[in-house]
Amino acid sequence: MGRMLALRDALREAMSEEMRRDDTVFLMGEEVAEYNGAYKVSKGMLDEFGSKRVIDTPIAELGFAGIGVGAAMNGLRPIIEFMTWNFAVLAFDQIVNNAAKTLSQSAGQFKCPIVFRGPTGSAGQLAQQHSQTFESWMANVPGLKVISCVDPADAKGLLKSAIRDDDPVCVMESELLYGHTGEVPDGEYLVPIGVAAVRRHGTDVTLVSFNKMMLPTLEAADILASEGISAEVIDLRTIRPLDARTVIESVKKTNRIVVIDESWPFAGVSAEVAYVVQKHAFDYLDAPVTRINAADTSLGYAPTFVEEYLPNAGKIVRAVKEVMYMRY
Amino acid sequence: MVARKKKTDSAPAHPKERYLYWYELMLRIRRFEERALVMYGQQKIRGFCHVYIGQEAVAAGIESAIRREDCIVTAYRQHGTALGRGVTSREAMAELFGKATGIVKGKGGSMHFFSAKHRYFGGNGIVGAQIPIGTGIAFAEKYKGTDNLCVTMFGDGAARQGALHESFNMAMAWKLPVLYIVENNGYAMGTSVSRTSNVVELYKLGASYDMPSEPVDGMNPEAVHEAVSRAAEYIRAGNGPYFLEVRTYRYKGHSVSDPAKYRTKEEVEAYKERDPIKLIESIIRDKEIATEQELQAIRDLIKEEIDDCVRFAEESPWPDPSELYTDNYVQADYPFIRD
Ligand SMILES: Cc1ncc(C[n+]2csc(CCOP(=O)(O)OP(=O)(O)O)c2C)c(N)n1
Ligand SMILES: [Mg+2]
């Protein structure tokens, strides 16, 4: 039996359950406590856990991320919330130079079990500085794991795994989809890091996506189905480590793949997926690996820019017809 | 003797034009912001929208005290600052609508006005980012040998970013012509100043760098003008940076979506009692600086201007989607990835 829960509520359940289980887990970030979270993810957590474990910080991303790293090296399990990943850029020094490297530098003496989490991606007309995706940035760094999933049930199970993981994990959420609902199982469960989910089975083409782009991808699969094209849809859920096997097995069956990724195209997640597919399923491909990304530009404010910039179902359908050598 | 003293007391401290300038600019900002909120409610304006209502005296007092050639950089709560620089209501409202006629062609929206001709280096959406940037703008003025300065504005929340300390230190070490102004409106989103530090008197942050620093009443354009004038003179004389903590208040929530439950009605009302527009209006009346007709003419002008700027924004075209690919690189034929 399950319940319908919004993504924000599922994420809160994950944090609260882990904090009840393990008193070394704490949550720290801007507006997480008294304001109940900028996007209400941590609503009520201050009341339950108190100000020792649900901690409001000043606006000082580099500082509090570093405090998290130090606390993790010294036996605690911090959850560091960034109001969005755009602001985590200030903290990349601590994430990239320290969280990711502590284990290696100390020859295994110090681990860094920390979760950095917050929303990523565009969220409407927020313009250049507030519309960026960061999966490929973080996934480029050995030592980090990266999760990016908006399905409430899976996001909950993955966040619990991330909190229990002994390595640093970056968790990418979605401002626009905090209210996105899905059935969440009752009781205790985990979703393993590094395993993709097949959201829809199909035979003609493989669609690979993650995070918010799963919505237009599934919408495109519906449209394609109505035109007699059977798409298999894979939700990567974890970006690093990438579940290449699930993607490759699917392509071996469908012989065609379109990757839908809100990151910019250059060296993005879609490029990595394209690489593993051509490397391990070259002989199975009936068409070039194709991708739909955000435009290779900064995102301006006007609605005309947002429309032009983002992947959408129409663009995905067109790409599928292209790899199927159909007219559109 | 008594009568004489009374007369001196009642003499206005500033020339008539300055009072009228403050009145007009503050009224322009207030009415612009009020209309922006209405337009937001009608979904003509989208995304984040942070208004300046309550803080008008800061823009007014700064602009009357500095020169047009001086530079300003600030954060995302910036419509008022830009209007103070001389960006027109039309250019500003059209930008909020995301229209091609906006001050940055619909590319920036509420948080990002820029105007090179007004020496306005922008509204920055990353809290605190403009502190080193303003320091660098000042660096360039000194490098070029001008006597211009850069007014670098930021919020009380931004004052907690490490970048402030790095900037203060280098600005002092290199005697840069930068005027740091923290607009202390009491809150960073839902977080009061006192919840972010044990140092709540923000001007004291200058002390560890021996930077001249002082608090200013930010609800009064006279006080802001006088402090900024003094600071600007000091900076132009080549003495290096200066830091003002301007104590002000935002009447509305942090942004359109913030119900502002973290503060009391009484607190908001107490500040509204000290409203800068009412204050200047009463000084003008009490000291008979201008006639009621002159004030009415300004009110009429602003009303017409705000109605006009909304019409203008409504009627303006959207930017063409192809403009997404302009202004990313100066290089005209930059090879974007397009497949
Ligand atoms: C680096 C960074 N962190 C967090 C945010 C989210 N944020 C936007 S405004 C704001 C509060 C800033 O408050 P303050 O500096 O006092 O300015 P005010 O809004 O009062 O004008 C926060 C936390 C951001 N934009 N940038
Ligand atoms: Mg503030």
Catalytic residue among A13, A17, A31, A130: A130
Cα of B95 to nearest chain A Cα, Å: 9
Task: Say what the pLDDT of residue B339 is.
Answer: 82
Cα of B80 to nearest chain A Cα, Å: 19
Q: Does A297 touch chain B (CB under 8 A)?
A: yes
Task: Say what the pLDDT of residue B111 is.
Answer: 98
Catalytic residue among A30, A61, A173, A232: A61
Q: Does A30 touch chain B (CB under 8 A)?
A: yes
User: Locate tokens 């609260």: which residue?
Assistant: A16
Q: How far is the CA of B191 from the centre of ligand 2 (A)?
A: 9
Mutate to test the interface with A, among B191, B194, B256 (most CBs of A within 10 A): B191
Nearest to B152 by CA among B126, B175, B179: B179
Beta carbons within 8 Å of A234's beta carbon, 6+ residues apart:
A196, A197, A198, A199, A206, A207, A208, A209, A246, A247, A250
> In this model, does residue B1 exceed pLDDT 50?
no
In ligand 1, the atom with minimum distance to the C-alpha of A31 is 23
Collapsing DSSP states into helix, strand and coil, what is residue A140?
coil
Each of the 328 residues of chain A gets a pLDDT tens digit; together they read 799 999 999 999 999 999 999 999 999 999 999 999 999 999 999 999 999 999 999 999 999 999 999 999 999 999 999 999 999 999 999 999 999 999 999 999 999 999 999 999 999 999 999 999 999 999 999 999 999 999 999 999 999 999 999 999 999 999 999 999 999 999 999 999 999 999 999 999 999 999 999 999 999 999 999 999 999 999 999 999 999 999 999 999 999 999 999 999 999 999 999 999 999 999 999 999 999 999 999 999 999 999 999 999 999 999 999 999 997 6
Contacts with A175 from chain B: Cβ below 8 Å: none
Mean pLDDT, chain B, rounded, equals 96
Domain ranges of chain B: 2-325
Cα of A31 to nearest chain B Cα, Å: 7
Whether B186 lines ligand 1, by a CB cut-off of 6 Å, is no
Whether B223 lines ligand 1, by a CB cut-off of 6 Å, is no
- In the stretch 308-327 of chain A, residues with CB closer than 8 A to chain B read 308-309
Q: Does B109 touch chain A (CB under 8 A)?
A: yes
Q: Does B265 touch chain A (CB under 8 A)?
A: no
Give the ligand with the smallest distance to the CA of B55.
Answer: 1
Segment holding A137, helix H or strand E: helix A135-139
- Band (pLDDT 50/70/90 cuts) for residue B278 is very high
Whether A87 lines ligand 1, by a CB cut-off of 6 Å, is yes
- Is residue A59 within 8 Å of residue A29, measured between CB atoms? no
- A173 catalytic, yes or no? no
Query: What is the C-alpha separation between B297 and B300, in angstroms, rounded?
Result: 5
> In this model, does residue B234 exceed pLDDT 80?
yes
The protein residue whose alpha carbon is closest to atom 12 in ligand 1 is B188
Task: Say what the pLDDT of residue B314 is.
Answer: 98
Residue type, B61: G
Contacts with B160 from chain A: Cβ below 8 Å: 58-60
- Band (pLDDT 50/70/90 cuts) for residue B10 is confident
pTM of the model: 0.97
What digits encode the pLDDT tens for the residues B22-43? Answer: 999 999 999 999 999 999 999 9
- Is residue B246 within 8 Å of residue B184, measured between CB atoms? yes
What digits encode the pLDDT tens for the residues B133-192? Answer: 999 999 999 999 999 999 999 999 999 999 999 999 999 999 999 999 999 999 999 999
Structure tokens at A325: 């050598």
Nearest to A15 by CA among A70, A99, A79, A88: A79
Structure tokens at A22: 């393990």
Query: What is the C-alpha separation between A26 and A53, in angstroms, rounded?
Result: 5
Contact A300 B324 (CB under 8 A): yes
- A61 catalytic, yes or no? yes
Long-range contacts of the stretch A31-35 (C-beta < 8 A, 24+): A31/A56, A31/A83, A31/B189, A31/B190, A31/B191, A32/A56, A32/A81, A34/B190, A34/B191, A34/B195, A34/B262, A35/B189, A35/B190, A35/B191, A35/B262
Nearest to B173 by CA among B142, B128, B219: B142
Nearest to B137 by CA among B235, B234, B70: B70
- Band (pLDDT 50/70/90 cuts) for residue B9 is low
Nearest to B99 by CA among A298, A299, A128, A301: A301
Nearest to A165 by CA among A189, A185, A145: A145
Cα of B100 to nearest chain A Cα, Å: 9
Whether A59 lines ligand 1, by a CB cut-off of 6 Å, is yes
Query: What is the C-alpha separation between B74 and B91, in angstroms, rounded?
Result: 18
Helices (H), ranges, chain B: 2-10, 16-41, 56-65, 79-85, 89-97, 130-144, 162-173, 221-234, 265-273, 276-286, 292-315
In chain A, the domains with their CATH numbers are: 2-185 (3.40.50.970), 197-323 (3.40.50.920)
> In this model, does residue B86 exceed pLDDT 50?
yes
Cα of A187 to nearest chain B Cα, Å: 34
Count of beta carbons in the 10 Å neighbourhood of residue B35: 19
Which residue in B191, B325, B337 is closest to A56 by CB distance?
A: B191
Beta carbons within 8 Å of B256's beta carbon, 6+ residues apart:
B37, B40, B48, B49
Determine the residue of A32, A39, A59 to mutate for testing ligand 1's pocket, defined as the one with the most ligand atoms within 8 A of the Cβ atom.
A59
Query: What is the C-alpha separation between A59 and A234, in angstroms, rounded?
Result: 37
CA of residue B27 relative to chain centroid, distance: 14
The per-residue DSSP string of B200-248 comes to --GGGGGGGGT--EEEEETT-HHHHHHHHHHHHHHIIIII--EEEEEE-
Q: How far is the CA of B156 from the centre of ligand 1 (A)?
A: 9
Mutate to test the interface with B, among A32, A46, A59 (most CBs of B within 10 A): A59
Q: Does B36 touch chain A (CB under 8 A)?
A: no
Which chain B residue has its CA at the smallest distance from A291's CA?
A: B339
Contact A297 B107 (CB under 8 A): no
Task: Say what the pLDDT of residue B295 is.
Answer: 98
- Its CATH class, for the domain covering B2-325, is alpha beta
Say if residue A241 is preceded by a cis peptide, omega within 30 of 0. Answer: yes
Task: Say what the pLDDT of residue B7 is.
Answer: 42
Structure tokens at B190: 């839902």
Nearest to B274 by CA among B245, B243, B302, B247: B247
Task: Say what the pLDDT of residue B3 is.
Answer: 43
Task: Say what the pLDDT of residue B5 is.
Answer: 42
Strands B178-184 and A115-119: unpaired
Which chain B residue has its CA at the smallest distance from A62's CA?
A: B162
Whether B125 lines ligand 1, by a CB cut-off of 6 Å, is yes
Contact A266 B190 (CB under 8 A): no
Beta carbons within 8 Å of B161's beta carbon, 6+ residues apart:
A59, A60, A61, A90, B127, B128, B131
Distances (CA, A) of A127 to A299, B265, B325: 5, 33, 14
Torsion region of B120: left, alpha or beta (phi above 0 gives left; psi -120 to 50 gives alpha): beta
Torsion region of B146: left, alpha or beta (phi above 0 gives left; psi -120 to 50 gives alpha): beta
Contact A34 B126 (CB under 8 A): no
Task: Say what the pLDDT of residue B216 is.
Answer: 98
